[in-house]
Amino acid sequence: MPRSYSADSRAPADAIWSLLSRPSRWPEWAPHIRGAWALGSPEVRRGRCGAARVLWLIPVPVVISAKTPGRSWTWRVGPMDLEHSVEPLGSGSRITMTLSAPGPVEPVLAATYGPIIALLVRRLARVAGAAPAT
């Protein structure tokens, strides 16, 4: 069963989307991501296969498997899918990341990577609320 992690931000959805969909901006809210390539520019593009550099040295292969412009995108990392979405909420927005994986892998990922996802969603909400829209 997919696991979702959400946070509300005072930033408008377009400001969140800029941080969420542009690989060049990921280090602003995801400090473990130190770069990405071949995923699309300036925004991720559906069907692109590339990699994200994690912890300054480990390139992790990823595929952008879905995208709804201005709203959500999903990448597949190994057996895991992680959807990144934003929706307007009053004068701000709600950010949600949803983790899904097959069978027994999902609860293990939820227990180990889930707390990190929850932290990143909150960090993104905070960073977007403090940054000017681009």
Q: Are 66 and 48 in contact (CB under 8 A)?
A: no
* Helices H / strands E in the chain, number of each: 3, 7
pLDDT of residue 131: 60
Rg, Å, the chain Cα set: 14
What gap in Å lies between CA 54 and CA 66, rounded to an integer? Answer: 22
Instruction: Please list the rounded mean pLDDT of every run of 10 residues in the chain (134 residues).
Output: 96 96 96 92 97 87 97 95 97 97 94 96 93 52
Q: What is the pTM of this model?
A: 0.92
pLDDT of residue 132: 54
What gap in Å lies between CA 37 and CA 34, rounded to an integer? Answer: 11
pLDDT of residue 134: 44
Q: Residue 5: name the closest of 119, 91, 133 by CA.
A: 119
Domain 3-130, architecture per CATH: 2-Layer Sandwich (3.30)
What gap in Å lies between CA 113 and CA 80, rounded to an integer? Answer: 11
Tallying the residues shown for the chain, one arrives at 134
pLDDT of residue 55: 82
DSSP helix/strand/coil, 118: helix
Q: Where are the domains of the chain?
A: 3-130
**DSSP one-letter code for 109:** H
